[in-house]
Amino acid sequence: MCAQETPPETTAKKLTPEELKSLVSGSTKYFFLDVREPKELEELGTIRGYVNIPLGELEKRLPEIPRDVLVVVACNRAVRAAKGAAILEKAGYKQLQLCAMNEYKEKGYEVIYPKPPVPAKPKAK
């Protein structure tokens, strides 16, 4: 399969890095769903305003994802994003697109690197 092909498990359109950049910098309302593991976001970066729901948790966390806006599903190479989009399609989501963050980063577009949560310090007695 060539890099630009979307796996056949979803009908969601795969955005080019330029299309994603246009969406991010435009006025269209969207929900950016990154389905990678939190550690990957820390190491590889993601887009400002992202919501992280790892692919393995997606089905049980569907209520957290809005149905009334475009949902852009992201991962590093768009393979897990396509799987995530397929899960959302089966759950009745209609406005879906997906993207590969490695392609976006290769173009030099801005990404953020989330910090891991700081564990709470025990309270002194």
Q: What angle do CA 96, 98, 103 make, to 5 degrees?
A: 160
Q: List domains and CATH numbers for the chain.
A: 13-106 (3.40.250.10)
Average pLDDT of each block of 10 consecutive residues along the chain (125 residues)?
Answer: 55 96 95 97 96 98 98 97 97 97 97 84 67
**Which pLDDT does position 111 carry in this prediction?**
96
Task: Supply the pTM of this predicted model.
Answer: 0.88
Contact 79, 35 (CB under 8 A): no
Task: List, in sequence order, every residue forming a beta bridge with 118; answer none if it has no partner.
Answer: none
SS3 80: helix
Buried b / exposed e along 75-86 (16+ C-beta atoms within 10 A): bbebbbbbbbbb
pLDDT at 6: 46
Q: Are 7 and 79 in contact (CB under 8 A)?
A: yes
CA distance 115 to 54: 16
Bridge partners for 14 per DSSP? 98
Q: What is the pLDDT of residue 113?
A: 96
